[in-house]
Structure 1
């Protein structure tokens, strides 16, 4: 009898030890967060499938996870073509990620070591390349990063602001399609924001101008700014109450001064039309963000007499807008140093954007409080 009790006690003790060991060796549960739980910056929308569509240049969101790996399910609403995401992990830039149309793409990001990690996902391309939809993210102890009560800058502009034609590290200039060399993460605006430790949104379209575009009369930025996708036929209106930028930077004019493709008839630059349309656009932006400081940037690409003409136009815009609305913050103006751009098709390269950001940093430091 005593022998049976002893064996029974040893068995119970053994089961307890086995159970304890099993609990101690168990891994944290892998979790999934839906796209609707993410807190993005930039122009985005939740589509009918509950996916988060990243629309504008550098539209981005963040999350944290534990371990060494996370999975992101992405797709293109279009069944054709391709697009690009890019990411930052633990404060270090990763690389661009190609997303193909017509199929779901599972993106696996791996950390060099275990522990807690912070990831930011960015759309590398502009709105006119089409949206990239995020369905869900899977990882251990995953949490969406919350929006901080930090200052925010909105950068309005053209292909330069987009970071278009800046990065030929993967696809050489003159090959592929236009957005194969886009790199919004390394454009001057996001660089300035990261240097200041603040957030940003981008409202930029390649080839666009104030009263005319690179090779057409429109639609110009004043005509598409209120459209969610910056497309004239998009019936969706952007909700400007989503963000309250402390500063709105407007860098337009390069395309208004362009001679186009040299084939299509192009009239001489019209200073009066430029100033008139610019004033109306600034007033539109003021109506959306009454408390914002608006900054006008010239163009590093325009040289010679055209450069002086642009500077004179911006001075006229400032004078007339400030006089028309004395209660609003006075417009700030920055005149770029001329640049010989080294990117594709005469655009600033990734390295050139670093130079532009360095030049702009003191200017925006004064404007951000």
Structure 2
């Protein structure tokens, strides 16, 4: 499989009204977001709780004003009859959303701090379209609340097709977030503009397998002993220590854990301490997903001796779990990233490396779960 580059959507217009500011929906490659001074309100308001709207990922619904999300690749999907779509968002920072139109990446929405109205789709004439907004940026950029959707006169939401039965969760760090994967090279430092969680290896593999995708990842996080992913894994909103996710709401058949890069940065951690912490986390994940295959992944950002040591640790963990009776814990080997595929910001995986990883992940999960590849994308 090869993977598809982002396509620009011509003619994306920006509208809003009155005191509500509207921010620019930008086409890749992106420039710094520029708010628009005026905007046009669309007359048909749709509540964010409308049953025709599908939320994929961890969304907090405790606030009557609208669902809130923060994790990478959190998605909103809806099918419209109309020529345009507005959305009012309340954002704690400046996030980025990939806008997919009929399954193709079409434009990038750059949010602004505060509450604003955005035009996310514009067509020359009314028609039926499936629109998906996927959060490109990771949780530390803040939480987004979806407050209202708007359509032109005569516009309406249509029923979406049934949810796909396949579901994949990835738990990880910056690699899984798509940190800097759109940067020109390794010398370009990280920014919101170059992080694309919608094109990370997990997201691409999930689309190739026609699976719903949830990503629980945060740059810099470790498995053990500090600044760990297990500390925040149970949260619906990672920035809110009081929020707790209800795991019965969504159950994957496969979970990929890609946590080792930061643990081995500067030397190998204590073997007994690290493997014990990893195995305890696997036990915890297993308690939520009794039937899922759990994959322990190697890191493509490591090479040489550190890669070999980390792989050895992970191999031991898998063997320990298998010996204890859990045969559905397996090793997923991502090779060290190849320089010929270029690098993202700060030596992170590029889009091409993400595509290589996606191929490996989709092929492995497809084989183990009996899933046929449903789609093939291409990247440059």
Q: Please give the TM-score of this superposition, normalised by the length of structure 1.
A: 0.81
- Is the alpha carbon distance of 1:147 and 1:242 closer, same or farther for their aligned partners in structure 2, counting shifts above 3 Å? farther
2:134 to 115, 122, 125: 122
- Is the alpha carbon distance of 1:199 and 1:270 closer, same or farther for their aligned partners in structure 2, counting shifts above 3 Å? same
Match of residue 211 from structure 2? 198
Please give the alpha-carbon distance, in whole angstroms, between the structure 1 residues aligned to 2:115 and 2:214: 28
Unpaired runs of 5+ residues, structure 1, are: 1-28, 213-217, 260-266
Q: Would the aligned equivalents of 1:151 and 1:368 in 2 still touch at CA under 8 Å?
A: no
For residues 324-335 of structure 1, the aligned pairs below 5 Å read 324=324, 326=325, 328-335=326-333
Please give the alpha-carbon distance, in whole angstroms, between the structure 1 residues aligned to 2:295 and 2:282: 10
Unpaired runs of 5+ residues, structure 2, are: 1-41, 371-380
Please give the alpha-carbon distance, in whole angstroms, between the structure 1 residues aligned to 2:202 and 2:288: 20
Are residues 1:207 and 2:220 paired? yes
Cα distance per residue 1:9-60 (max 9 Å; x no partner): xxxxxxxxxxxxxxxxxxxx96432112232111111252421212210100
Larger Rg: 1
Match of residue 94 from structure 1? 106
Q: Would the aligned equivalents of 1:126 and 1:205 in 2 still touch at CA under 8 Å?
A: yes
Q: Please give the TM-score of this superposition, normalised by the length of structure 2.
A: 0.79
Cα offset for 1:239?
0.9
Q: 2:55 aligns to what SS in structure 1?
A: coil
Please give the alpha-carbon distance, in whole angstroms, between the structure 2 residues aligned to 1:303 and 1:128: 28
- Is the alpha carbon distance of 1:368 and 1:128 closer, same or farther for their aligned partners in structure 2, counting shifts above 3 Å? farther
Higher RCO (C-alpha under 8 Å, 6+ residues apart)? 2
Please give the alpha-carbon distance, in whole angstroms, between the structure 2 residues aligned to 1:236 and 1:318: 31
Please give the alpha-carbon distance, in whole angstroms, between the structure 2 residues aligned to 1:185 and 1:237: 24
Please give the alpha-carbon distance, in whole angstroms, between the structure 2 residues aligned to 1:337 and 1:137: 43
Match of residue 153 from structure 1? 168
Please give the alpha-carbon distance, in whole angstroms, between the structure 1 residues aligned to 2:76 and 2:114: 24
For residues 168-317 of structure 1, the aligned pairs below 5 Å read 168=183, 173-174=188-189, 178-212=191-225, 218-231=226-239, 234-259=241-266, 269-317=269-317
| Cα RMSD, aligned residues only | 2.1
Which stretch has the larger CA shift, 277-286 or 147-156?
147-156
Q: 1:282 aligns to what SS in structure 2?
A: helix
- Structure holding more helix per residue: 1
Are residues 1:356 and 2:357 paired? yes
Are residues 1:33 and 2:40 paired? no
2:63 to 37, 42, 48: 48
Q: Would the aligned equivalents of 1:158 and 1:208 in 2 still touch at CA under 8 Å?
A: yes
Cα distance per residue 1:183-220 (max 9 Å; x no partner): 111000010011111111111111111114xxxxx230
Q: 1:46 aligns to what SS in structure 2?
A: coil
Q: Would the aligned equivalents of 1:283 and 1:321 in 2 still touch at CA under 8 Å?
A: no
